[in-house]
Structure 1
Amino acid sequence: MTKIFKRTYSYAFLIPAAIVYLLIFIFPTVMSFFFSLTRWDLTTWQFIGLDNFKMFFKEASLLIGFKNTFIYAFVTCVLKVVIGLLLGVLLTSKIRAKGYLRSVIFFPTLLSTIAVGLTFSMLMHPSQGMINAALNVIGITGPDWLGDTRIALLSVAFVDVWKGVGFAMVIYIAGILSIPQDYYEALQIDGGGSFRKFWNIIVPLSRPATNSVIILSFIGGLRSFDLVWAMTKGGPGFTTDLIASIIYKQYQGGYYGLATAGNVILFLFVTALALPLYSYLNRKEVDL
């Protein structure tokens, strides 16, 4: 009896976390799959099988939503990796006030996404926004950042990068600081310069940090909704509509079962892209 108690004693500490995980994640996920097969409101439901999924795939803007979601995720992911790495290198070098600069760059990560979206929607106003006013001072006519169908999605993506690059920077700083000094000393003896230090040491040895930033940024981009909705509500037209914003519009229209089916599809879509990417990055990391 004592041996059994000793074996199970440590697992008892996991029970509170397991209960919370079950109630907050597992149970809602299972219920989402169930209600995606029903026509429901807040009080009643009716089982209708796969009809919601058939209707969702007939959505007029669905293909645009999938394309925009992938473009948005790809652009934000690439920029966060590149800019985050460069900032990480800069802010681990011997420059003054690097602690202050780290705080300034990381600060937007702490801000409300809705507040950031509303603020930038005003800053990017074509005639009254401060961005175009600043461009006019130097003789440049600024575009309609959120009203031009050619650049609206990229404009929102750049705001996303501004807000989230600080988190990528912190991950890279941790990765760069964990690199043993022996590598730098060997390179110095070999006569290598700053570029070789960056390309031959920092880039390959900070790959675990890069993998983390890629996974988090890409999944975050695929699931993004609040910033896009705060800035454009999917417009102009369907130019900035993402899968999540299409689903939200269905909730607004009272099509709860249809929207729940959309959430299930979004979950499967993100999983289908994220798992192979995660496996590939892990395999490359092991090969290194």
Structure 2
Amino acid sequence: MNRSLSQTYTYLFLVPAGIIYFVFFLLPTIMSLFFSMTWWSLTDWKFIGFENFKTFFTESSLNIGFKNTIIYAVVTCSLKVVIGLLLGVFLCTKIKTVGFIRSMVFFPTLLSTIAVGMAFTVLMHPSQGFINLALKTIGITGPDWLGDTNIALLSVALVDVWKGVGIATVIFIAGIMSIPEEYYEALMIDGGNGFHKFWNIILPLSRPAMNSVIILAFIGGLRSFDLIWAMTKGGPGFSTDLIASIIYKQYQGGFYGLSTAGNVILFVVVSALAFPLYAFLNKKEVDL
């Protein structure tokens, strides 16, 4: 009787969480799937089947948006992993100002993405921006960072890395500091040096932290919108348009059903890429 009562209390404690999950996640997801197959406004709706999806895939900028989204996600994820790992290793050393440096590395993460985008738009101005003025003092003519279609997407990606690498660094620091000291002592006894310490101990044993950074950074890159919109609004042309910015432009145009279909497509794309990547990384971790 007591055991049955205990189980009842257990399920009752799950009810509030279940209600919150249903109201704020499950119900909006179901509604999005439904409204993606309708023409709708704030006061009326009409069921039109899969027409919104057909229309979305005929958008002239969609192919560019898909390509840009993949490039943006891969570039930002790769740089955050590499830079975050190197900073994590450096900030786990015994230096006097390690606490201050850790704070400085993490500080950009606390800033508003829109504010960062606006600030770097000014800094990257082709003629009056601080970056090109600094390059000019050493005899280098800086490019039009956000106006050149060949480098605009990369320029925004670098700003994204600057802002987000702090989280990656913190995760790597936690992973590295969890490695038992006995491994390092054994390596020193065997005559290992700093490179051996990194290659044979830190790199393989920080794999769980690396997997977390890869998943978070890759999904964040696929879903990125606010920084792109703050800096370029998808321009020049469609050179920095991502799937999310294309969806937002549909919202601006009043095509609510079409943009909802785009959100469903983005959800499917992120899931189709993230879940296999997660399974692959976990398999590699188990094999280790």
TM category, shorter: over 0.9
Please tell me whether residue 84 in structure 1 is matched to residue 94 in structure 2: no
1:126-167 C-alpha deviation (Å, 9 max, x unpaired): 011111111111111110000001100000000000000000
In the TM superposition, 1:80-119 aligns within 5 A as 80-119=80-119
Which residue pairs with 2:188 in the alignment? 188
In 2: Cα distance, 1:215 partner to 1:192 partner: 32
Which residue pairs with 1:32 in the alignment? 32
Q: Secondary structure at the match of 1:235?
A: coil
1:1-33 C-alpha deviation (Å, 9 max, x unpaired): 543211121232222222111111111111000
1:41-62 C-alpha deviation (Å, 9 max, x unpaired): 1111100000000000000010
In 1: Cα distance, 2:25 partner to 2:13 partner: 19
TM-score by length of 2: 0.99
Which residue pairs with 1:122 in the alignment? 122
Ranges in structure 2 where 5+ consecutive residues have no aligned partner: none
Matched letter for residue 15 of structure 2: I
In 2: Cα distance, 1:125 partner to 1:29 partner: 41
1:248-278 C-alpha deviation (Å, 9 max, x unpaired): 0000000000000000000000000000000
Q: Secondary structure at the match of 1:184?
A: helix
Which residue pairs with 2:43 in the alignment? 43
Matched letter for residue 16 of structure 2: P
In 2: Cα distance, 1:65 partner to 1:113 partner: 21
Matched letter for residue 217 of structure 2: S
Matched letter for residue 83 of structure 1: I
Please tell me whether residue 264 in structure 1 is matched to residue 267 in structure 2: no
Q: State percent identity of aligned pairs.
A: 74
Q: Secondary structure at the match of 2:46?
A: strand
In 2: Cα distance, 1:30 partner to 1:5 partner: 34
Which residue pairs with 2:133 in the alignment? 133
TM-score by length of 1: 0.99
RMSD of the alignment, in Å? 0.7
1:52-90 C-alpha deviation (Å, 9 max, x unpaired): 000000000100000000000000000000000000000
Q: Deviation of residue 219 (structure 1)? A: 0.3
Which residue pairs with 2:175 in the alignment? 175
Which residue pairs with 1:165 in the alignment? 165
Matched letter for residue 224 of structure 2: S
Which residue pairs with 1:239 in the alignment? 239
In 1: Cα distance, 2:199 partner to 2:95 partner: 20
In 2: Cα distance, 1:18 partner to 1:192 partner: 53
Which residue pairs with 1:214 in the alignment? 214
Matched letter for residue 196 of structure 2: R
Which residue pairs with 1:52 in the alignment? 52
Please tell me whether residue 75 in structure 1 is matched to residue 59 in structure 2: no
Q: Secondary structure at the match of 1:13?
A: helix
Which residue pairs with 1:9 in the alignment? 9
Matched letter for residue 155 of structure 1: S
In 1: Cα distance, 2:13 partner to 2:30 partner: 25
Aligned residues: 288
Q: Deviation of residue 229 (structure 1)? A: 0.4
In 2: Cα distance, 1:47 partner to 1:188 partner: 70
Which residue pairs with 1:255 in the alignment? 255
Runs of 4+ aligned structure 1 residues displaced above 6 Å come to none
In 1: Cα distance, 2:75 partner to 2:258 partner: 29
Matched letter for residue 88 of structure 1: G
Q: Secondary structure at the match of 1:273?
A: helix
